[in-house]
Amino acid sequence: MASEPGILTDWPWKPLGSFKYIILAPWITESIYSIIVGDEKGWDVFNLTILPLMLWRMLHSQLWISLSRYRTAKGTNRIVDKGIEFDQVDRERNWDDQILFNAIIFYLGNKYFPGGSHIPIWRTDGVIITMLLHAGPVEFLYYWFHRALHHHYLYSRYHSHHHSSIVTEPITSVIHPFAEHIVYFALFIIPVSTVVFTGTGSIIAIAGYITYIDLMNNMGHCNFELIPNWVFSIFPPLKYIMYTPSYVLSLS
């Protein structure tokens, strides 16, 4: 919890506890129904992809958690030479809330926004647009939002919750109050909504972009370096594509 919790700190489904995933039941039921009944336009592949994508994101993060805790337990090449405290494990146990939140938004977007449904598997132009928008306006806006979060007012009410974890784990990257995640989603949805509204969207562009963000977040918050320094010496532009745990910790 932040030192001075602000509004929209807790997730809306917090009272549901371990039963929080029940809120996805209406959309999952509708997806199954659409398969059984059929649609004059054919199966909505994107709608059917949302649940597998959510499960993939959970598996992806869990693999990083296992790797990180194994390396931390071994105690070799740790950046912060400490063990993980039980309080941190308890504080970060709801790391999947942001995946649930994203799934809800995608179900709603697929249902109510023009161009959100029946998108193709692949479109080259959409993939390129997604990459350019992320490298441009998204990274720019994210940088300034992150700086703002370190201002005393926002830091004490929101971002200090994230920095309570001294020995970072992959899931530390997504341990934020609900209000903070709303802004993050608004930023990272820019490339996705753009390709959808321009008719250039594809499942690969959306799923690949989300997986890339998860990969950078998970790897960037490990308590060890996965990528050797010599790799960046051989290929310097790589530092503009990814960040390392040492870089993240230097900002803390």
Q: Is the pTM of this model over 0.75?
A: yes
The 10 Å Cβ neighbour count of residue 157 is: 20
Q: 138: which DSSP letter?
A: I
Phi-psi region of 202 (alpha: psi -120 to 50; beta: other; left: phi over 0): beta
**208 Cβ contact partners less than 8 Å away, ≥ 6 residues apart:** 127, 130
The 10 Å Cβ neighbour count of residue 58 is: 14
Is the predicted pLDDT of residue 40 greater than 70, yes or no? no
Tokens of 124: 């080259």
**Higher pLDDT among residues 102 and 69, named by residue:** 102
Average pLDDT over residues 2-28: 93
Average pLDDT over residues 75-93: 87
CB 238 within 8 A of CB 229: no
Closest CA to 116 of 60, 183, 50: 50
Rg (CA), the chain: 19
pLDDT single digits (tens) 122-139: 999 999 999 999 999 999
Which CB contacts under 8 angstroms, 24+ apart, belong to 66-73? 67/222, 68/169, 68/170, 68/222, 68/223, 68/224, 69/169, 71/222, 71/223, 71/224, 72/167, 72/169, 72/223, 72/224
3-state secondary structure string, 178-209? Answer: HHHHHHHHHHHHHHHHHHHHCCCCCHHHHHHH
